[in-house]
Structure 1
Amino acid sequence: MSTAPKLFPPFRAEQIGSLKRPRALLNKRAEFDGGKCTKEELAVLEDEAVTNIVSMQREAGIKAMTDGEFRRHMFFDGVFDNLDGMKYIPPEEIQPHIFMTYVPDVAGFQKLDFKGADTYVCTGKLRRTKSFYGEQFEQLKKLTKPEEHKFLKLTVCAPEWYHLRHGEYAYDKSIYSNDDEYFSDIAIAYQEEFKDLYARGCRNIQFDDPLLAYFCAESMIEGMEEKGVDHVEVLQTYIRAYNKILENRPSDMTFGLHLCRGNFKGGMHFSEGGYDRIATKLFNEINVDCYYLEYDTDRAGTFEPLRHLPKNKTVVLGLISSKLPKLEDPEDLRERIFQAARVIAAGEPKRSYEEALHQICISPQCGFASHSEGNPVSEEDVTKKLALVSSTAKSIWPDA
């Protein structure tokens, strides 16, 4: 049996998910949030914005198109705000002690005295009683060509999103006695959602999970140890959760895992540290097909962790910044891809340089607007960045 990774999807030229939201859409959403317009009126602006962003991706050569996450406030919307058993806690009811301050983004909120923060905790049995992302996928299908539907990419929230943030306060102990029980019901909900999405024609899922990258940050590891939290076991719990979610997955449905170190308002990041600490487990124990990895700055470390990439998986190198408008140099990008291929080829198991190069794709380091306000880049900058992704890929893999 061939060990070559399946490359459909991802494609050689990829984009992560969120794109720059038009100001008109942001204004209309603010009106909707303030009760000044209807959902139908907002949908008109959303459809127009998604239609335009789909055209931009198509023209840039991006095949695994998304809706830019234009129908969300935040990239992680969708799961826990629709899951029965989760309780919303508005900013005015926040109790700081339920936040684990060793988590890098929580530490950022703490500096602001949690002003404007809101969250969810589990107070009841977790059940999926309605679709999380089905409507978004159906709307994207309506605005794309039938032959593109099998390529469309849907980004989804990481399963441990509120667990890491809240630790022992993440769920009611009278409902779940331990983490595995809690994640077992979460896994069932994801399985049901993916079954539904598959029936709708979705074949390309990307988990957005900056939390796994936090395990590369010395600040969080030290903070967990100070609190007596076993960070090794917590990471292993999350790996079990992912693999439970992916049990009995369709063979023709691709699952990718995106890691970054934060992409908040203005492109703010929360943590630093290379993938070395988690590389073996990340690449060999989580049953996904591909990894979208931040690699646009030194804070993500070197390519050395890619030595642990198995032969049957692909890595999408996030070499192009989504935070800054300056365009990267094409020759520098090419050389970094070749460098990564040399590292993979020399890894374990060893493989030829050509095999290693075949396991690589290229993308921006993150989305261009994980938060609704987005990063300090214009729509024109986004267009140029995605075109650079595509042209760089084609210069190395002519059939990209």
Structure 2
Amino acid sequence: MITARADVVGSLLRPGWLLEAQERRRAGSISEAVFKQVEDRAVDEAIALQEAAGLEVVTDGEMRRLSFQSQLVQAVEGFGTWDLDAFLWGKWHGDNDIGDWQQERPHELAVTAPLRRRRSLSAEEFVYLRARTPRTPKVTLPSPGLFANFWSPEHSSGAYASLREFLEDVARILREEVEELAGYGASYIQLDAPHYPLLLDPETRAFYEARGWSTAQWLDFGVALDNVVMQDIDGVTFGLHLCRGNQGSRWLVSGGYEPIAKPIFQRTAAHRLLLEYDDERSGGFEPLAAVPDDKVVVLGLVSSKRGALEDLDELLARVEEASHHIDRERLAISPQCGFGTSIVGNRLTIDEQAAKLRLVCDVAARLSG
């Protein structure tokens, strides 16, 4: 099992020259071969940044993705019309200098045909990453339940008679992906599951319950789908990341983990729980008492939304506070989420991002020492 005390959630800020190349590729002004060289350079720099910070676990920064969850719809046939807005819809909240941001759910968003996996979702990412770092390479995948918003009773029933049938097929595809990644030597795979904390908000909870299930049923079925993806894969440590939305330094919901802690923490097959705890929106550490003894909690204490650097001693004090509810030896630290969960990115610089990662490693060193 992975024992790293310093962890990273997944995405890093995309450099401007990569975003420019993506635009040129969409416009057809550069070839696929040239674009791949640009992507490779972005991944190389992401790896170097993480290694220089001292991280034991590194990702490819999700440089090859439009969004943290977009590789599924890019690699699988059956999804209808979609674009970046498919992953950005919702009522986003920001600090005073950022302001709120409302993005409507695209009306045409729907699965329209039975899903067929045309290619691997993340094999290219993992194989390239594995060959370029001696550290533990980590690959991230979306939780199956995250795609509930792609099923529409008006447009999807010809392909899938029910939402349950559709999500079970999503879980099947993700399980195939995990088995393929394990065959390539992946030892650390993370499922990203922001849809669970979204159930804390009455407005977003109403959207999910309008799909036909109560909150309790959503939690039970969602965790069962996650476990289909994760269970009985020898040699792989699984992480489960829970956050409250992260785009453009904004968030979707607030609220402590209490209402969702026991159904998720006690039933998930994940070995590491990566939990958002960078400010008061995430509530207190009391729900950590529900974490079983065989799981590690990775405290997301360092904000990926702000450039201002946290104080090391204050972070250590927060770890100490968390240890009142869970054994200190089962605590690790990370940023609260990715720095660029989509190409939108958060409002900080690459240098500030690097300083945040170094701080994570400094706190982890104190914990280990």
Mapped partners of 2:364, 2:26: distance in 1: 41
Mapped partners of 2:146, 2:187: distance in 1: 23
Identity over aligned pairs, percent: 30
Give the AA of the match of 1:300.
Answer: S
Equivalent of residue 244 in structure 1, options 224, 228, 247: 228
CA distance 1:373–1:176, shift in 2 (3 Å): closer
Equivalent of residue 255 in structure 1, options 230, 233, 238: 238
Equivalent of residue 184 in structure 1, options 168, 176, 179: 168
Q: Out of 119-128 and 24-33, give the one that drifted further.
A: 119-128
Mapped partners of 1:187, 1:79: distance in 2: 11
**1:292 CA displacement:** 0.7
Equivalent of residue 124 in structure 2, options 114, 132, 135: 135
Give the corresponding residue for 2:343: 372
Mapped partners of 1:119, 1:61: distance in 2: 44
Counterpart contact for 1:90–1:119, Cα < 8 Å:
no
TM-score (norm 1): 0.84
Give the corresponding residue for 2:144: 159
Give the AA of the match of 2:43.
Answer: V
Give the corresponding residue for 2:191: 207
**1:293 CA displacement:** 0.7
Give the corresponding residue for 1:321: 303
Give the corresponding residue for 1:390: 361
Give the corresponding residue for 1:312: 294
CA distance 1:241–1:119, shift in 2 (3 Å): farther
Counterpart contact for 1:90–1:118, Cα < 8 Å:
no
Mapped partners of 1:104, 1:43: distance in 2: 26
Unaligned regions of 5+ residues in structure 2, if any?
Answer: 94-99
CA distance 1:170–1:250, shift in 2 (3 Å): farther
Mapped partners of 2:81, 2:45: distance in 1: 33
Counterpart contact for 1:160–1:238, Cα < 8 Å:
yes
Counterpart contact for 2:194–2:245, Cα < 8 Å:
yes
Q: How does 1:215-226 map to 2 (within 5 A)?
A: 215-221=199-205
Tell me the secondary structure at the aligned position of residue 137 of structure 1: helix
Give the corresponding residue for 2:38: 45
Counterpart contact for 1:216–1:276, Cα < 8 Å:
no
Equivalent of residue 28 in structure 2, options 10, 32, 35: 35
Mapped partners of 1:246, 1:357: distance in 2: 26
Give the corresponding residue for 2:97: none
Give the corresponding residue for 1:331: 313
Tell me the secondary structure at the aligned position of residue 336 of structure 1: helix
TM-superposition CA deviations, 1:208-250 (whole Å, max 9, x none): 1211111122443356668875222122221221122224x32
**1:363 CA displacement:** 0.4
Give the AA of the match of 1:157.
Answer: P
**1:13 CA displacement:** 0.6
Give the corresponding residue for 2:264: 282
Mapped partners of 2:222, 2:154: distance in 1: 14
Counterpart contact for 1:304–1:343, Cα < 8 Å:
yes
Q: How does 1:62-81 map to 2 (within 5 A)?
A: 62-81=55-74
Mapped partners of 1:326, 1:362: distance in 2: 18
Give the AA of the match of 2:138.
Answer: K
Counterpart contact for 2:285–2:322, Cα < 8 Å:
yes
Give the corresponding residue for 2:112: 123
Counterpart contact for 1:313–1:359, Cα < 8 Å:
yes
Give the corresponding residue for 1:352: none
Unaligned regions of 5+ residues in structure 1, if any?
Answer: 1-5, 345-355
**1:111 CA displacement:** 6.9
CA distance 1:276–1:134, shift in 2 (3 Å): same
Mapped partners of 2:13, 2:208: distance in 1: 35
Give the AA of the match of 1:61.
Answer: G
**1:297 CA displacement:** 0.9
Mapped partners of 2:83, 2:362: distance in 1: 45
Give the AA of the match of 2:347.
Answer: P
Tell me the secondary structure at the aligned position of residue 216 of structure 2: helix
Give the AA of the match of 1:181.
Answer: E
**1:341 CA displacement:** 0.9
Give the AA of the match of 2:48.
Answer: S
Tell me the secondary structure at the aligned position of residue 126 of structure 1: strand
Give the corresponding residue for 2:276: 294
Counterpart contact for 2:76–2:118, Cα < 8 Å:
yes
CA distance 1:47–1:174, shift in 2 (3 Å): closer
Between Structure 1 and Structure 2, how many residues are aligned?
363
CA distance 1:228–1:44, shift in 2 (3 Å): closer
TM-score (norm 2): 0.90
Counterpart contact for 1:78–1:132, Cα < 8 Å:
yes
Give the AA of the match of 1:393.
Answer: A
